[in-house]
Structure formats: structure tokens, C-alpha cells
Amino acid sequence: MKKHNPGFEQLCEAARKNVHEVSIQQVKEMMDKGTIPLVLDVREESEFQKDHIPGAKHLGRGVLERDIETIVPDKATPMVLYCGGGYRSALAAESIQKMGYTNVLSMDGGYRGWNEASYPLVKE
């Protein structure tokens, strides 16, 4: 597992206090039941291209705030954000909540947790 820099970890821990986190199991259940209409992968394009959660749309962390309103104009849209392990998605969720999005979840454990649970992935 990648070791992150302390300043980044502090920033992420602060963000996690302001966002709703859900487990990979909860996300899988929501997807199986069809109760989550939007899953956003906020990893880098190269990570998304390698493989991603089925049905996920890509919106990289670097352009998220710039493009989110074009891709998701309804700020009440329920969505789950995920990244590699749950850090970037927490930052992303906090950021778009500040932009007025009201139904945002961050998947704790991210892609790595999903993959470790042997849940399905789509290869491009």
C-alpha cells in the first residue's frame, strides 16, 4: 500500500469529517439494487482506462470542479465517488459539497478495496 505524505493525510482526514463515507459492500449493494444512479471515478485517466467499476463515469480529480456542473447539472443527484483508496474521493466529495451538491458519498477503501473483494471490474 502506498504511503502518503503527512500533509496530504491530514488534509484527507479533515475532509473525511465533512463527508459521508460508505463501504465498498454498501456501494455494491446499492448498485445491485439500482439505488445509486451515478458512480464517479475521480482517479487519473490512465487508472480509469486500465479498469474501473462497472457503470462508473470518469471525472478526474484535476478537472472535477471545472466539469461537474456540465456532467451533473442536478445538484441533488445521488452519487458515489471513488478513487484508489478513499483519500482523493473524500477531498473530491468535500469540494463538490461546497459547490452545492447535497447527495454525495465517498467510497472508503476505493478501487483497491473493491478489487480485493473480487467485485467486478470493467477493462477498457
**Torsion region of 86: left, alpha or beta (phi above 0 gives left; psi -120 to 50 gives alpha):** left
pLDDT for 104-124, tens place per residue?
A: 999 999 999 999 999 999 986
pLDDT score of 1 more than 60: no
pLDDT for 2-45, tens place per residue?
A: 677 888 888 878 888 999 999 999 999 999 999 988 999 999 99
pLDDT for 41-71, tens place per residue?
A: 999 999 999 999 999 999 999 899 999 999 9
